A and B are shown apart, each in its own frame.
Chain A
Amino acid sequence: MSRPWARRVLSCSGCVLVVAYCLAPFYWMTISAFRRPQDQFDNSIVPTRWSWENFSAVFSGEGFGRALLNSLVVAGATTALTLLIGTCAAYALARLRFRGRNAVLGLIVAATMFPGISQLVPLLKLFTEIGWINTYQAMVLPSLGFALPLSVWLLTAFFRQLPEELEQAAMVDGCTRAQAFRKIIVPLAAPGVFTTAIVTFIATWNEFLIALSMVNDKDMRTATVAISTFTGVSGFDQPFGTQMAAGAVVTVPLVAVVLVFQRRIVAGLTAGGVK
C-alpha cells in the first residue's frame, strides 16, 4: 500500500468490480430483451442477431400500455397526496416546538415497521364490502401506509437542514410564520421535496403486494403485476424474452431518472435510510 501506483491499481480494480456487480444482471436483462426469440437461450455476451421482436410482443397483446398507465396513475397520485400532507407534518415536526413531538415522530417511524400483509387483510375485506376492488383508490390508499411515513421522515430531515435564522429574520422583518413558511422555507426546501418525490414515486412504482391483491381485472393491473403474470405469445413455458423486454421498458425510465438525479437521490437515501 506504500507505492501510489499499486494503490491506484487496487482502487481502480475495486471500482470496476463494484460497477460490474451492480450492472451485470441489469445488462443481462437488457441484452436478453434484444435477442431473437429463437436465440433466447443463447448465452453469448452480445446477441449474434439483434431484434426488436420481444419489444413488439410486449406491446402487441396483454394491454401492457394500459398497465404502464395504471402504474403511472397509482404512483403519481400516491406521490402527490403524500407530498401534500407530508410536507405540513414534516414542517411541524422539524420547526414547531410542542409537547410530544418526538413521540409523534416515533409513531410515524414505527408505522413503517407495520408489515404490508397485516395491512392487507382487513383492507381487502373492507374494500370488497364497499366495492373498491379493481379501483385506483384501493391501491393508492394502502400505498400511503408506507409512502407517507417514508416521506415525512425524509422531509423532516431536509427541513431541519435549513437554517432557522432565515425564517427568524423574515419574521423580524414582519412576516407571519405562515408567510415565512411560504416565502422562505418552501423555495429553499424545493430540492428536498423534489428528492422525496422521486424516492416516493420509485417506491410506489415498485410496489407489488397491494397491487397484486387489490385488483383482479386485467385492465387495472399495474406494470409490475402485469409482467409477472405474462403468459406471452412466443409459446415457451415462460416467455423470458418478452418478460425481459417488458422489464427493460419498466426499468429503463427509472434508471434514466436515477442517473439524472443521482446526487439528489443519494442525499435523500442517506438522510432517511430508505430501502
Chain B
Amino acid sequence: MRRIARPALPLSPTLLLSPTLLVLALVVGYPAVAGFRESLYAGGEGLDADGFVVGGDRFAGARNYTAIFHGDRAGAFWNAFGNTTFFTFTTVALETVIGVAMALVMHRMFRGRAVVRASVLVPWAVPTAISGLLWRWIFQADGAANAVLGREILWTADGFPAKVAVVAAEVWKTSPFIGLLVLAGLQMIPAEVHEAARVDGAGPLQRFARITLPLVRPALLVAVLFRMLDVLRMFDLPTVLVGADQGSVQTLTMVAWTEASDLRYGSAAAYATVLFGYVALIASLFVKLLGADIIGEAHRHSRRGKGTAE
C-alpha cells in the first residue's frame, strides 16, 4: 500500500495512542475491575458468625448478587429492570418514528432549512437535568400539560402518568438527534434513484419503503444503537422530573445510585455490574441481529467525504 518510504522518525502509533489508552484504563478500566471486586464485598458494620460486631469490608461472595435477585429488595430490582426496559423500548421506538418524520420534512424543504435545523438543535443543547425541571414544570398539577389537555392528571406523582411524563420528556429531547442523523443519510441518496423508481411506477409509499428506508438503514441503526445504550443508563431525567426514590420511574442506575449514596458500595457495585452486563447483552444482540456496524460506519463516513455535513 505504501507508496512513500517512511521518514526516518515516524510518528509512532504507540506514542500517540498511549495517553488516551492510559486515561481510559484509569477512568474506565480500573472502575470496571475494581467495581467487580467491590461487588463481592460487603461494607459497613455487621455481625460475624460468632455474633461479634465487625467493621470494614468483608468478603461476601455472591451474596450481593443473590440479594438483588432474591429477598426483600428483589422487588425493587425487578421493578427497576422493568422500568429500564420499558423506557428503552418505548422512547427509542417513538424517537425513531418522530426522528424519521422530522428528517423527511427537513429533506423536502427548500427555504428556511437553516431555521428548522437550528431549532432542532435546541432540545439537544438543553441539559438533561434542566429539561427534567422544565418538564416537571409543564407536568405540574396546574401546569401547561393539563391546561392543554383539559385534564387534571397528577403526572409527577406515582404510577403510570409519571412514566408517560418521563417518556415524553426524553422523546422531546432526543428525537431531533435521530432526525439529524437520518437527514444526513437521506442526503446521501442520489435523486436519480428516486427518479428511476418513479419512472418504473412506484408510488410515494413504495418509494419510501423500498428505497429510502433501506438506504438510510445503516445511519439509522447506529443512531438507534447509541440511543438505546443511552436510555439503558438513564438517570438525570427521572431523578429530576419525578424523584430518585419513586418506584414508578426508578431505573437500574437510580437504584445503584441510591445504594451508593447510602454508602452500601458493595451492593451498589453489584447493581452496576448487572446493568453493565445488561447493556453489553443488548448491544451485542443488536449488532448481531441487525448488523449495526459502528466501525464500518466511521469508514463509510470517511468515504462519503464532506458531503455528510449537508
Residues of chain A at the chain B interface (Cβ within 8 Å): 1, 11, 14-15, 17-19, 21-23, 25-26, 28-29, 32, 41, 43, 85-86, 88-89, 91-94, 96-98, 101-102, 104-109, 111-126, 141-142, 144-145, 148-149, 152-153, 156-157, 160-161, 168, 171-172, 176-178, 181, 202, 205-206, 208-209, 213, 224-225, 227-228, 238, 240, 243-244, 247, 250-251, 254-255, 257-259, 262-263, 265-267, 269-271, 273-275
Contacts and interface: CB of A to CB of B under 8 A. Distances in A.
Given A228-B132, A240-B137, A120 B257 contact: yes
B263 to A, nearest CB: 10
B166 interface: no
Contacts of A149: 24
A18 B104 CA distance: 11
A244 B133 contact: yes
A259 B118 contact: yes
Contacts of A121: 31, 35, 38, 256, 260, 265, 268-269, 272
30 contacts: A15-B105, A19-B116, A25-B131, A26-B126, A29-B134, A43-B144, A89-B17, A92-B13, A102-B295, A112-B229, A115-B233, A115-B253, A116-B233, A117-B253, A118-B275, A121-B268, A125-B34, A144-B27, A145-B31, A161-B301, A176-B8, A177-B11, A209-B253, A213-B261, A227-B133, A228-B129, A228-B132, A240-B133, A262-B121, A275-B174
Given A178-B9, A228-B129, 9 more contacts: A15-B109, A22-B119, A25-B138, A28-B144, A118-B273, A142-B27, A176-B9, A269-B177, A273-B297
A29 B57 CA distance: 47
B149 interface: no
The 6 A-B pairs with the shortest beta carbon distances in the complex, nearest first, are A160-B302, A270-B184, A122-B34, A89-B20, A206-B127, A267-B309
B23 A123 contact: no
Contacts of B131: 25
B309 A263 contact: yes
A113 B283 contact: yes
A121 B32 CA distance: 10
Contacts of A153: 298
Contacts of A257: 125
Interface stretch (B46-54, B68-76, B85-93, B220-228): B220-228
Contact of B130 (A11, A247, A265): A247
Please indicate which of the listed interface residues B32, B137, B235, B295 has the most CB atoms of chain A within 10 Å of its own CB: B137
A96 B13 contact: yes
Contacts of B239: 208, 228
A111 B28 contact: yes
Given A145-B27, A273-B223, A254 B240 contact: no
A206 B128 contact: yes
Chain A, interface SS category: helix
Interface in B295-310: 295, 297-299, 301-302, 305-306, 308-310
B280 interface: yes
Nearest to A153: B298
Nearest to A29: B134
Contacts of A107: 21, 24
A120 B275 CA distance: 13
Given A144-B27, A227-B130, A120 B260 contact: yes
A223 B177 CA distance: 24
B7 A11 contact: no
A58 to B, nearest CB: 13
Contact of A271 (B3, B116, B308): B308
A273 B230 CA distance: 12
A41 B142 contact: yes
Nearest to A45: B144
Contacts of A114: 28, 31-32, 276
B108 interface: yes
Contacts of A178: 9, 11
Given A117-B233, A269-B177, A244 B35 contact: no
Contacts of A144: 23, 27
B10 interface: yes
Contacts of B32: 114, 118
A121 B143 CA distance: 37
Please indicate which of the listed interface residues B13, B32, B114, B147 has the most CB atoms of chain A within 10 Å of its own CB: B13
